[in-house]
Homo-oligomer: A and B are copies of this chain.
Amino acid sequence: MALFDKSDSAQLVVLSLLAEGASYGYQLTKDAATRSSGTLRLTPGVLYPMLKSLETEGLITSSWEEIKAQGSAEDGTGRRRKWYRISPKGRKRLEQRIAAHRAYTALIDTFLGGRPQEERP
Contact = CB atoms under 8 A, between A and B. Distances in A.
Interface stretch (A54-62, A65-73, A74-82, A104-112): A104-112
A56 to B, nearest CB: 20
Interface of A: 1-4, 6-10, 12-13, 16-17, 20, 34-37, 39-42, 46, 98, 101, 104-105, 107-108, 110-112, 114, 116-117, 119
Contacts of A16: 111-112
Nearest to A5: B39
A3 B40 CA distance: 6
B117 A35 contact: yes
Contacts of A111: 12-13, 16-17, 35
Contact of A35 (B6, B36, B46, B116): B116
Given A1-B6, A98-B112, 12 more contacts: A1-B1, A2-B46, A3-B9, A3-B10, A3-B41, A6-B6, A9-B108, A16-B111, A20-B114, A35-B111, A37-B119, A105-B105
A2 B46 CA distance: 9
Nearest to A34: B116
